[in-house]
Structure 1
Amino acid sequence: MLIYNVFGRYLAVKKPPDGWQVFRADMAERKFTRLYDIIIPDDMTEDEVSGWLGDIFHEAASQRHPDVRRVE
């Protein structure tokens, strides 16, 4: 599972055979809740995911959280 800090919000992403899945990540308890309203195109590579998340959530950027970073 890939875990990103998306402008201060933790999201986890994994790609089983049927396409990308996105989860809200509670890093304190290591719990993950599936998010069905965030779609990542099936043909997107792992290297492109952070840019895609940045495009989707760019309105959440702030001085404190200015970017998307992969943390795991």
Structure 2
Amino acid sequence: MSDAHSKSRKQAEIAFGATQSQFFARGRAVDELNSIAQARDEKTIRLREARLAKELDDSMKPAVIPTKRAKKS
């Protein structure tokens, strides 16, 4: 009788271990996705700040108006 109990306990422990492994694997995947999203958001912020700084710099420069030159004949 103890042999059957031991066998069923082993099967239950194996099933529990598999379930637990899937749970932790899913948690790692979620952490990885969160990390990727955070890195993307940080990059977006850096690029936006760089673009706004460039636009501000460009708006502070005087506009250059090309002039027509007379042709030399």
TM-score bracket, normalised by the shorter chain, equals under 0.3
Higher relative contact order (CA 8 A, sep 6+): 1
**Structure number having the greater helix percentage:** 2
TM-score, structure 2 as length reference: 0.19
Q: Which has the larger radius of gyration?
A: 2
Greater strand content: 1
